[in-house]
């Protein structure tokens, strides 16, 4: 089976500082792949490069197509969707409008109503707050809105950057349950997380990113039992 997305020796620099060095990651259709690692390892940088918000060197292929020269908006139209670490919601617009805009790239206006209902079924809290401005939501609700907005795009590949960041443990569990349930929709996921245990429990394959480089990779079930990893990232949980 050919990979959905391959990142081949991707490097990203901020000026002279190289934040990501020759990282290669591959995602098969239907897989959940996670990239774990400490703060400042370059995880977010890699995600921004993958969606095209940051320039990078190396090769990216999505559905067999070279992504060089394909801008962010065109990647979104092809079915890639990033839920960024900063969420990037439309704070002065209400929940329903935020979700509606998620479907912008699909140009399928007729389906928006039905898809809205699907998202509201998944996140009943959003339905209660559909007329409320996004800026007035709590942290957990904002993450749900960011996820729901991404789902409105009907993505093939969802890039999730730190979905559990700054959330209460109970909500973190809920978010990970949602992520696992997306598998049944046929959505492949590239998940970047500091919460290594929860990420590895959800994913099929894991990569460990440290100071911009992949130091370890393998089946998530193996990584979760690796004593070195337990000591470094999983000990506290």
Partner 1 sequence: MTFDIAAILAVDGIASGAIYALVAIGTVLLFSVTRVMFVPFGDLAAFTALTLAALDDGKTPGTVNLVIALAVLAFAMEALALVRAGKMKMLPRAALFYLVIPIAVALAVRLLAPATPPLPVRLIMALALIVPVAPLLDRIVFRPVADAPVLVLLIIAVALHFALVGLGLLFFGPEGVRTQPLTSWSTEILGAMVSGQTVCIVIAAVALSALLYVGFEFTLTGKALRATSSNRTGARLMGVRPARAGTIAYVLSSILAGVSGLLIAPVNTIFYDSGFLIGLKAFVGAIIGGLHSYPGAAIGAVIVGLLESFASFASSSLKDVIVFSVLVPILVWRSLVSVHIEEEDEE
Q: Which residues bind partner 1 (CB under 8 A)?
A: 51, 53, 69, 72-73, 76-77, 81-82, 84, 86-93, 97, 100-102, 104-105, 109, 149, 153
Provide, rounded to whole angstroms, the least separation between the CB of residue 102 and partner 1.
6
Q: Which residues contact 74 (CB under 8 A, 6 or more apart)?
A: none
Q: Which is nearer to partner 1, 82 or 172 (CB)?
A: 82
Closest separation in Å from C-beta 200 to partner 1: 26
Measured from the CB of residue 129, what is the shortest distance to partner 1 in angstroms? 17
Rounded Cα distance between 84 and 26, Å, is 20
Alpha carbon distances (Å) from 117 to 81, 96, 111, 148 = 20, 10, 10, 11
Side-chain-side CA neighbours of residue 96 (13 Å):
11
Classify each residue of 133-160 as buried b or exposed e, where b means 16 or more C-beta atoms within 10 Å of its C-beta: bbeebeebbbbbbbbbbbbbbbbbbbbb
Quote the tokens at residue 103. 């479907």
C-beta of 12: minimal distance to partner 1 in Å? Answer: 17
User: What order of strands is seen across the sheet that includes strand 205-210?
Assistant: 80-83, 157-161, 188-193, 32-36, 205-210, 213-219
Nearer to partner 1, 72 or 185 (CB): 72
Please identify, using beta-carbon distances, which residue of 42 and 52 lies nearer to partner 1.
Answer: 52
CB of 107 to partner 1, least distance (A): 9
Q: How far apart are CA 11 and CA 24, in angstroms?
A: 9
């Amino acid at each position: 089976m050919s990979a959905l997305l391959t990142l081949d020796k991707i490097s990203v620099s901020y000026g002279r500082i190289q934040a990501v060095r020759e990282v290669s990651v591959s995602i098969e259709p239907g897989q959940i792949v996670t990239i774990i690692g400490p703060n400042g390892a370059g995880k977010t940088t890699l995600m921004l490069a993958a969606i095209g918000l940051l320039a990078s060197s190396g090769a990216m292929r999505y559905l067999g197509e070279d992504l060089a020269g394909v801008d962010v908006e065109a990647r979104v139209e092809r079915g890639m969707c990033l839920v960024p670490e900063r969420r990037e919601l439309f704070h002065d617009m209400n929940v329903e409008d935020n979700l509606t805009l998620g479907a912008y790239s699909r140009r399928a206006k007729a389906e928006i109503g039905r898809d809205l209902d699907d998202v509201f079924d998944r996140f009943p809290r959003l339905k209660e707050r559909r007329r409320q401005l996004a800026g007035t939501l709590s942290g957990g609700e904002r993450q749900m809105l960011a996820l729901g907005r991404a789902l409105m795009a009907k993505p093939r590949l969802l890039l999730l950057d730190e979905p559990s960041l700054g959330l209460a443990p109970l909500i973190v569990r809920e978010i990970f349950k949602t992520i696992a349930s997306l598998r049944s929709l046929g959505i492949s996921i590239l998940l970047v997380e500091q919460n290594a245990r929860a990420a590895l429990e959800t994913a099929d394959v894991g990569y460990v990113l440290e100071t911009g480089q992949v130091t370890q990779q393998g089946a998530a079930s193996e990584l979760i039992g690796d004593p070195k990893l337990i000591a470094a990232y999983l000990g506290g949980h």
